[in-house]
Amino acid sequence: MSSVRVQKVAKQIEREVSKILQMEVKDKRLNFITVTGVDLSNDYSFAKIHYTVLGNEDKKEAVANGLEKAKGFIRSALSSRVQIRKLPELIFTYDESIEYGNKIQKMLNQLNK
């Protein structure tokens, strides 16, 4: 189980990455991203950033490519906002839980008809 400090830093990284994506990254592909969570390793070496985006597979692929391209900029902007000794490597992963929830909701709605 993660320590309280690791959880607080993960939450701070989540907030700051969201702000950076909304206000500082100029790539149009990254306009409608929602950061859904951050998993931070106990030694602060890796931060797995979960995100979701509305759209088809082409849109998701374009966003993944845009995030990979902007990763260095996001990490450098994050370094001035999060006060830890060594900033973790950022790993962006698509969060499918929103789509899964929508699929289940549609199934439940069909059962109620």
pLDDT of residue 1: 44
| CATH number assigned to the domain comprising residue 9 | 3.30.300.20
Average pLDDT over residues 17-45: 92
Q: How many domains does the chain have?
A: 1
pTM: 0.85
DSSP character for 88? P
Least confident range of 7-11, 97-101, 107-111: 97-101
pLDDT of residue 2: 63
C-alpha span between 96 and 35 (Å, rounded): 12
Higher pLDDT, 90 or 99: 90
Q: State the residue range of the domain holding 23.
A: 4-112
Tell me the average pLDDT of the chain: 91
Judged by DSSP in three states, 81 sits in: coil
